[in-house]
Each structure stands twice: as C-alpha cells, then as structure tokens.
Amino acid sequence: MGKHTAKILICICLAAVMSLALCSCGAKVTADISGYGDARIKVTGLKAADFYVTPNELKELECVSQTAEGKSKKAGKVKAVGPTLETVTEHYGGRLSDYSSVLLKAADGYSVSLSRSFISAHSTIVISLADGEKALTKSERPARLLIPGAESSYWIKMITEIDYEK
C-alpha cells in the first residue's frame, strides 16, 4: 500500500470517528423549564426503596430529540426532548428487560402500562421534558411520553409516577 493510500485511509477513519462523536452528543433541553423543573416524579420498583426524580435531574442525562405525529388531529405533531426510558432506567441501576412492564401514572388519573414486548418493539421511548425549544404546557408538565410509531394514546402527559413491575 502506498503512502498516498494510507493517508486517505487515515483521513477516512478520522472522519468516521469524528462523525460518530458528533452524532452521539445527543440533544439538550434548552427550553426554560424553571416553572416545573423541581416537580417530583415518584419512581417505584426500580430500587429497593421508592425515590423521586425531577425534570432538572433528568435533563442532565443523555437526551434525544424526536418528532412524531399522531393519527388524530387532537394528538397533532409533537417534538420531544428528554432522556429515553432506557437511559433513565440504566442511570438508576436497572435494565428494562428485567421488568415485565412499566406503568406510568399522570396527575389527572390517566395511566399507561408498557409491557416488555411493547417496549422491545419500540426502540425509542422518550420521557419528554420540553417541546423542542419550548417548555411543556401546563397540561403536559412535568413530563410526557413520546413513542414514535405507537398510538398517541400511549403518549401520556403530566407524568407523576413511574412504576417498574417485575
């Protein structure tokens, strides 16, 4: 292999490494969430004792940005920024595959149960802390769920509790 070919291969490898590094940086929550950043979300079943997390704590985890459009006009198009359910679970010492389901409860009494098979069928489940560059509305705070490709009935708003069930 000539020097010229070796230099080209090195440049290609460096470009690939830089592209991977830039792509893995993830999204950031840039919206002003100070109005609900300290709201407590109860987490049960993930550790020996229940504990609480806040949007301010969750925004420090690796976040993603996803957009999805519901099939109904009411659901509309939603842009979500926040950590994935998998990221949150792993950050606090768990693995989603260890649980039979995850139940999310809302302030208005609504709840959504995500089975292990549902979770494995949806590669991205975002715990949204912001709507793109905008804070969540009062009817969405302190967090909402966005699952691209899933029915919008799973996109629970006003999450107050996340219950991991074995």
Distance CA 115, CA 103 (A): 9
C-alpha of 76 from chain center: 19
Tell me if the pTM is above 0.75: yes
Largest CA distance in the chain: 69
Task: Give SS3 for 84.
Answer: strand
Q: What is the pLDDT of residue 132?
A: 83
Domains and CATH numbers, the chain: 27-165 (3.90.420.10)
pLDDT in tens, 12-28: 544 443 433 333 347 89
pLDDT in tens, 122-154: 989 999 999 888 999 999 999 999 999 999 899
